[in-house]
Amino acid sequence: MEFPDDLKYSREHEWVLVEGNVATVGITAFAEEQLGDVVFVELPAVGDKVTKDEAMGVVESVKAVSDVYAPISGTVLEVNDDLPENTELVNEDPYGDGWMVKIELSDVTDLEELMNAADYEAFVQEQQE
Amino acid sequence: MKHTPLYAAHRALGARLVEFAGWEMPVQYRGILDEHNAVRTRAGLFDVSHMGEIELRGAGALAACQMATANDVGRLADGRAQYSLLLEPSGGIVDDVIVHRIHAERLMICVNASNRDKDFAYLGEHARGADVVDVSDETALLALQGPRATQILHRLTDAPLGSLPRFAFVDGVVAGRRALIAHTGYTGEDGWELYCAAGDAVTLWDALLSAGAGDGLIPAGLGARDTLRLEAALPLYGHELGADTTPFEARLGWVVRLDKGDFVGRAALREAKAHGLRRCLVGIETTAAGIPRADYALLRDGARVGHVTSGTKSPTLGKGIGLGYVDPAVSGIGTPLAVEIRGRAVDATVVRVPFYRSQALATA
């Protein structure tokens, strides 16, 4: 399982790629593996405000409905328009083409609460015990 | 948690295991969509050994079965099975089952895993005159389903598969082991269910996977089993069926033979029939983006008219499908409804069921 070094991670299994004041967010390989085949994705709209640790979207697998949480607060700049028609991208490339939203950070200190790759990997090991 | 004889095999295959009715069972191996697709286009092999098998034996077995089940076992010849229901005296459903008439003094009833103990007690009480024997622990059950199932099974048995219509079964030998070979299934595809001794399950499982490898046979789990049966609009106890549902509401009026003679629940159902339906089971498809799920409300012009009992995104059709109970007034094919999904009304339509019909099964 992959834990890319250049990303930060939330306890709800979202990843964050930080570029200046913009955060790209998706769900991690652990999350997609737990979900199984993703069949439906509901994303916020461009311009929506999202709040750290609150649900901002939904990802559905064949059997279950799961919330996607905002790992940081801000305003939605862009959403992955390819995703609703190609939900398998979340399973096939969770850190790449399976990206979900780009958010303009409203508070850069939100990032400090996220984990680095090593800590997230340890966190995942704990979940599996 | 309980394990079937194939537990080690599932782990070796890397199955994702989940708890179901007190059993640790494979929900998927490589993925639900892959497994679903395999059953629809090639073949899939399911371990459903968690299900129960209860036999009624003795001179009184046939009569006892008639009293304890809603369908008419009098219409069965030896070597024939039928879908049936165990009913409460009130007409509510205790379980949906398959009754196999081995001969007049021996009937084998395949029951849902979640209802095994309840059904055993029920039969003890209502199947008077028969010896009621729970053989579940000694019996394993494998389901080989899909358009290529028959050709795969042919390689492992001399049983006359071609002369067994749907719901017929024969006592035969598969991969050198004794098995009751039944032309039944719960996937909406052609296929076979093999009842064997628990100790022979691994041999049969391995032999089938091996014999079917060239045809693309793969193991399939409970996740795919659910999406397959839902596309075929087959009910699932605990969702479409329960103690508070009657057969007529569940579109199972055809299973109930009110004129066959007395049986548990008959009087209540006669009355129910006279009063008409208070609700009925329909199939729905969403026409906007969204997936119906169990317990979501069904709306008509903003008012609640029912609820979803099972729902998913149909892998074969690519749209949201579901079964649900609604007010009979809005149950007509083509009625526009909405599914309440996370507070929003998502457009849906009442459609004809099954959602999917297999060509191969139609000609099986």
For B7-46+137-231, CATH number?
Answer: 3.30.1360.120
Closest by Cα among A120, A76, A93 to A38: A93
pLDDT along chain B (364 residues), means of 10: 98 96 97 98 98 98 98 97 98 98 98 98 97 98 98 98 97 98 98 98 98 98 98 98 97 96 97 94 97 98 97 96 98 98 97 92 74
Q: Say whether the peptide bond before residue B219 is cis (omega within 30 degrees of 0).
A: no
Q: What angle do CA B70, B106, B132 make, to 5 degrees?
A: 70
- Give this complex's ipTM: 0.90
Burial class of residue A27 (count of CB atoms within 10 Å of its CB; 0-12, 13-18, 19+):
buried
Name the residue in chain B with its Cα closest to that of A91. Answer: B31
Q: Residue B360: what pLDDT?
A: 74
Closest partner residue to B31 (CB to CB) among A37, A42, A65 is: A37
Distance from CA of A86 to the nearest CA of B (A): 12
Contact B85, B266 (CB under 8 A): no
Give the whole-angstrom CA distance, residue B305 versus residue B302.
Answer: 9
Residue that the structure tokens 């399973």 belong to = A91
pLDDT in tens, chain A (129 residues): 889 999 999 999 999 999 999 999 999 999 999 999 999 999 999 999 999 999 999 999 999 999 999 999 999 999 999 999 999 999 999 999 999 999 999 999 999 999 999 999 999 999 887
Burial class of residue A128 (count of CB atoms within 10 Å of its CB; 0-12, 13-18, 19+):
exposed
Give the whole-angstrom CA distance, residue B309 versus residue B322.
Answer: 7
Q: Judge whether B7-46+137-231 and B279-351 match in fold.
A: no
Distance from CA of A60 to the nearest CA of B (A): 9
Whether A60 and chain B come into contact, CB under 8 Å, resolves to yes
Give the whole-angstrom CA distance, residue B56 versus residue B108.
Answer: 6
* B126 φψ region: left (φ > 0), alpha (ψ -120 to 50), beta (else): alpha
Contact B123, B19 (CB under 8 A): no
When computed from its CA atoms, the radius of gyration of chain A, rounded to whole angstroms, is 13
Domain ranges of chain B: 7-46+137-231, 279-351
Which 3 state secondary structure label does DSSP give B251? Answer: coil
| H, E, C per residue of A33-69 | HHHCCEEEEECCCCCCEECCCCEEEEEEECCCEEEEE
Give B240's DSSP letter: T
Contact B191, B144 (CB under 8 A): yes
Contact B31 A36 (CB under 8 A): yes
Whether A81 and chain B come into contact, CB under 8 Å, resolves to no
Query: How many Cβ atoms are within 10 Å of B317's Cβ, its own excluded?
Result: 12
Interface probe for A, chosen from B340, B342, B344 (most Cβ of A below 10 Å), is B342
Sheet holding B43-47, edge to edge: B169-174, B177-182, B191-197, B139-145, B43-47, B217-219
List chain B residues with CB under 8 Å of A65: 291, 293
Dihedral sign for Cα atoms in the order B41, B47, B52, B55: positive
Whether A33 and chain B come into contact, CB under 8 Å, resolves to no
The H-assigned helical ranges of B69-200 are 116-126, 149-154
- Return the amino acid letter for B121: A
Closest by Cα among B101, B119, B118, B98 to B109: B98
Contact A65 B16 (CB under 8 A): no
Contact B33 A65 (CB under 8 A): no
Whether A40 and chain B come into contact, CB under 8 Å, resolves to yes
What domains does chain A contain, in order, with CATH numbers?
Answer: 30-108 (2.40.50.100)
Sheet holding B93-103, edge to edge: B80-87, B93-103, B106-111, B52-57, B131-134
When computed from its CA atoms, the radius of gyration of chain B, rounded to whole angstroms, is 20
Whether B31 and chain A come into contact, CB under 8 Å, resolves to yes
- Predicted TM-score (pTM) of the model is 0.95
Whether B32 and chain A come into contact, CB under 8 Å, resolves to yes
Contact B191, B143 (CB under 8 A): yes
Give the whole-angstrom CA distance, residue B331 versus residue B255.
Answer: 21
Closest by Cα among A56, A53, A59, A44 to A89: A59
Q: Residue B361: what pLDDT?
A: 78
Burial class of residue B170 (count of CB atoms within 10 Å of its CB; 0-12, 13-18, 19+):
middle
Closest by Cα among A3, A7, A5, A6 to A15: A7
For B279-351, CATH number?
Answer: 2.40.30.110
